[in-house]
Amino acid sequence: MSPVAPADGDIFEVFVQAGVSNALTHVGSLVTGCPDEAWYLAKETYCRRDDIARLWVVRRGDMIVSGPEDLPALTARTRMPFRQAGYPVARRRDRTGEPVAAPVEVGRPTSGPPSLTALWFALADDLFLLGHRLSRHVVDYIDIEDSLATGSISQEATAHARRIVEQCGLTEAGADAHFFDRPAHCWCPSGVSLCDLDSWPATVVSGLVVAAAVVALAEETLAVDPDPELVPELTAIRTEQAMHLEHWRHWVAALAADEATTAEFTTDCRDIVACAGDLLGGPAMSLPGSRLPTDAADLASVHTRFAALLKESVTGELTDRPTPRAADPTNSPLPAVLRRAKVVRDRYRPGTFL
């Protein structure tokens, strides 16, 4: 008889709580072919010394667990430093002495097809606007778990926007000036970012198409052999946005299937997907300080990736190829959004640490 590794169905993970104020802690696992015995065996295996308040045993196969590939998404301390108690003080220390940033033009428009850098730079605006507009839905209490997920998507979209413009050559103060002090007519967001996000279906579809565009662009960029130092950053952005995409897909499936929501969803979906062709449309910019690849993007390739991700998720007519973004469209909600974003900022001297 040759030795065999235990089957997952026979492995049980053991959790004990040492005192009533403590959390349950994983202490190890055991193997038994007899599930009814698992709790008793756990007691004899792991609870021989201390007074234990609670003992829980869970079959390994019934657990949803992370793998090494999930690690980048689980590093909240490094990915989301602003959630740490020490962040305000550390930020103040780190930025002391940083030169005052005026709104800067880091790039200048060029002719010809946009570079990958230019696609990222444009998409940063859409991520910023999405994060900005999504934040309201955190207290919309569709359901509480969803509110929390929306909160993270909103924060991650905002964080990605900043990381992208920093990779394009801006400092933190420069990024603030870029997003807060740039006049509305200098923005060139996608039509998706200008759609009305009042309804939940529109929010879901907008979130989905922006996430799909970022995933497509991240995959395209990773495929062209970027600066190795950029790879972890791009991978993390791709991973987080892929999770957003997956989250929105669940909602898309539910809203499309339910007869009370399907009509509203279908209309919103059609309207937003029709605008989505410009998400990866540029404009072409020269960004000399950027660390992202500055060679011309293969627009057909990145658009094909994007279309494939959308096709798996939503119906609606996406344009065959990337379309240019409309500069300064009429009836744009953007000026009002940006005015409100500056209400407080405008009351402080330029360059104040805010």
Closer Cβ to another protein, 138 or 222, answer by number: 138
For another protein, the binding residues (CB under 8 A) are 20-23, 54, 80, 82-89, 91-92, 131-132, 135-136, 138-148, 151-152, 154-155, 158-159, 162, 172, 175-176, 179-180, 200-201, 250-251, 254-255, 257-258, 260-261, 337, 340-345, 347-349, 352-354
Q: Does residue 34 sit in helix, strand or coil?
A: coil
Q: Where are the alpha helices (DSSP H) in the chain?
A: 35-46, 76-79, 87-95, 116-134, 144-167, 172-176, 200-223, 231-257, 262-275, 299-311, 334-341
CB of 248 to another protein, least distance (A): 12
Which pair of structure tokens corresponds to residue 125? 């605006």
Place of tokens 């500055």: 294
Closer Cβ to another protein, 39 or 348, answer by number: 348
CB of 178 to another protein, least distance (A): 9
CB of 243 to another protein, least distance (A): 16
Closer Cβ to another protein, 19 or 68, answer by number: 19
Cβ distance 121 to 168 under 8 Å? yes
Distance CA 210, CA 192 (A): 8
Closer Cβ to another protein, 40 or 82, answer by number: 82
Distance CA 295, CA 279 (A): 19
Cβ distance 306 to 315 under 8 Å? no
CB of 61 to another protein, least distance (A): 25
Closer Cβ to another protein, 15 or 180, answer by number: 180
CB of 201 to another protein, least distance (A): 8
Which pair of structure tokens corresponds to residue 321? 């190829």
CB of 91 to another protein, least distance (A): 6
CB of 282 to another protein, least distance (A): 24
Closer Cβ to another protein, 211 or 216, answer by number: 211
Place of tokens 């308040």: 53
CB of 290 to another protein, least distance (A): 19
Closer Cβ to another protein, 299 or 337, answer by number: 337
Cβ distance 118 to 107 under 8 Å? yes
CB count, 10 Å around CB of 175? Answer: 20
Q: Where are the alpha helices (DSSP H) in 312-351?
A: 334-341
Closer Cβ to another protein, 62 or 258, answer by number: 258
Strands of the sheet with 54-59, listed across from one edge: 25-31, 11-17, 54-59
Q: How many contiguous H segments (helices) and E segments (strands) does the chain have?
A: 11, 5
